[in-house]
Amino acid sequence: MPVVIERSDWGAQPPNTPWTTHYPKKITIHHTGGRTSGYWQGATTMRAIQDGHIKPTSQGGRGWKDIGYHYVIGPDTSIWRGRPEDKVGAHVRNNNTGNVGISVYGNYNQEDIRQDVYATLVELIADIASRYNIPTQMIFLHRQLQSTDCPGSNLAIRINQIRKDVADVLAGGSAVHAAPVPVAASPAAPVPAPVHHTTVISPRITVARTKEATAAHRRSSAPCSSLRPVPPGAPALQVRRILSMSRSLR
């Protein structure tokens, strides 16, 4: 049962202009691109992604009204709310109405997806698909809808498996078949946002309330369709597992 960290919990800005309502009919998978997953800093990263999407193009941003994605999945398997899923996002050019965008934080041209992150992606897609009756054929990679390498080759190669695993979850199973990714061993990583309590808001979605202190430093984050080199000194992938917080697929 996915736990979603809400906008108020990561300090999201309100949209510049009102969102437009839509009804989800397809789901598109992205990566954030640019930086690898070791750069993840939870709420700080979410605010940086939103800043980059809202900032005017004249200042190097995208000039959108809000963060483009509906969800971002962190390398610690946390799930973060972007735009509400019943509002039109900004994540595939000329193909946003009815399209729910999920972005996995990291660069999957440069790294492989961890098995627990993959399982979280499958779980989230299955949850959305079940609530809107979206068939698995309507699960796409960004690169299938627009000229881009998003979501990276190591994630893109798994599209058929993703559809199959989502179908298995929807059928009541818990099959997740992604090849396991070795867990990097480094303690020098930020700690995930603490989850203090949860509130059930639907049969399958749970809302997490976090009280993460506002971090002072906001770092810009590359949008998924542009790649930037990873600078030296990047913090290593954190290995903290938070699978204990009710995210079993069973």
User: By CB under 5 A, how many residues form the interface with Zn ion?
Assistant: 4
Which among 22, 2, 40, 159 has a CA at the least distance from the CA of 91? 22
How many helices (H) and strands (E) are present in the chain, helices listed first? 6, 8
Helix residue spans in the chain (DSSP H):
7-10, 43-54, 115-132, 142-145, 153-156, 159-170
When asked if residue 224 is in the footprint of Zn ion (CB under 5 A), the reply is: yes
Query: What is the sign of the dihedral through the CA atoms of 193, 198, 201 and 203?
Result: positive
| Contact pattern for Zn ion over residues 91 through 130, marking x by CB under 5 A | ----------------------------------------
Query: Using CB under 5 A, which of the segments 53-61, 166-174, 209-217, 219-227 binds Zn ion?
Result: 219-227
When asked if residue 70 is in the footprint of Zn ion (CB under 5 A), the reply is: no
Q: Which is nearer to Zn ion, 65 or 142 (CB)?
A: 142
When asked if residue 143 is in the footprint of Zn ion (CB under 5 A), the reply is: no
| Contact pattern for Zn ion over residues 26 through 55, marking x by CB under 5 A | ----x-------------------------
Report d(CA 78, CA 125) in Å as an integer.
14
Judged by CB under 5 A, the residue of 81, 142, 158, 163 near Zn ion is 142
Closest CB 109 distance from Zn ion, rounded Å:
12
When asked if residue 150 is in the footprint of Zn ion (CB under 5 A), the reply is: yes
Q: Which is nearer to Zn ion, 35 or 247 (CB)?
A: 35
Report d(CA 71, CA 3) in Å as an integer.
12
The secondary structure of 14-54 as a DSSP string is PPSS---B----EEEEEE--SS-GGG--THHHHHHHHHHHH
Q: Which is nearer to Zn ion, 152 or 192 (CB)?
A: 152
The secondary structure of 65-83 as a DSSP string is SS-S-SEEE-TTS-EEE-S
When asked if residue 141 is in the footprint of Zn ion (CB under 5 A), the reply is: no
Q: Which helix (H) or strand (E) holds 100?
A: strand 99-104
Closest CB 144 distance from Zn ion, rounded Å:
11
- Binding-site ranges for Zn ion (CB under 5 A): 30, 142, 150, 224
